[in-house]
Structure formats: C-alpha cells, structure tokens
Amino acid sequence: MSVTLEDARRVIAAAEKRADEIGQPMNIAVVDAGGNLVAHVRQDGAWIGSIEISISKAWTSKAFDISTKDLGDNSQPTQQFFGIHTTNAHGRGVAIFAGGVPLTRDGKVVGAVGVSGGSGEQNQTVAEAGAAAL
C-alpha cells in the first residue's frame, strides 16, 4: 500500500485550505511509502527556501515512520536520537523540526506529508490537516 497521486492531491488540498485559514503561505510535499516525492505545491508567497525543507520533512517522517516534531523531541541532548540530524541519509538531510507527519491507512504508514513556510506550530497544524484528509 502506498500514497497515490489522487491521495497526494487530497492531502495537499486540505493542507492548502488550512494554510489559507491561518494566513500563512506554505510549501507542501507528499511522499509515498518508499519516501519518493509524489507531489509538491508552493503556495503563492511561500518562501523558496522552504521547498527542499518541506520535501525533507516528508521524507524524514516516512523514513522513520514518526512525526518530525516527535523525532525532534527525541533528538535533543541526552535523548536517544541526539545527533540524528547530522546524518545525510540518501543525500537528503534528516529534518527534526515540526511539520512532517506520517500518512496512515488501516494502521500502516503509506507515505508522509511535509510542510514548511511558517512557525513550527503553523507547519504542524497544516501538516496535520493534510494528513487528516487521507
């Protein structure tokens, strides 16, 4: 099981709606079960610097089947994953800040959504809105 293009479009539409509601333009990326990019949207006015970050958040969330917010909490000094962000798995950095959320179907992770362009709280709420649409 994996995210389809139709699924990705639904996730992105829900995330865009939430970003519009909070008034913060975002970059929104969706990856499939293999961590491969399925779709990406850069809303008008969203930072170009956040394009790759949104993709990295989605990839990281799927690679570890965890939200990047939770991974970040566990990668602080004295925590079990301290230093994970310094790794460079498959040429993509590991993102350890809010905005990456696994996409699940029937209890199985089938992809992930990554959002970047606002504060951590804004990124997380937009990513969660997208994930809820799956």
Condensed to tens digits (0 to 9), the pLDDT of residues 45-84 reads 999 999 999 999 999 999 999 999 988 887 777 877 776 7
Predicted pLDDT of residue 133: 97
* Mean predicted lDDT score pLDDT of the chain: 92
Q: How far is CA 86 from CA 8, 9, 21, 39, 51, in A?
A: 29, 32, 34, 26, 20
Instruction: Report the predicted TM-score, pTM, of the whole model to 2 decimal places.
Output: 0.92
Residue 77 CB coordination number (10 Å): 6
pLDDT score of 98 more than 80: yes
Tell me the torsion sign for CA atoms 97, 101, 102, 107.
positive
Predicted pLDDT of residue 21: 98
Q: Which residue has the tokens 């539409």?
A: 13
Q: Name the pLDDT band for 91 (thresholds 50, 70, 90).
A: low
Query: Three-state SS for 33?
Result: coil
Nearest to 112, CA basis, from 43, 50, 55, 41:
55
Predicted pLDDT of residue 59: 94
Top pLDDT among 91 and 66 is at 66
Top pLDDT among 89 and 103 is at 103
pLDDT score of 113 more than 80: yes
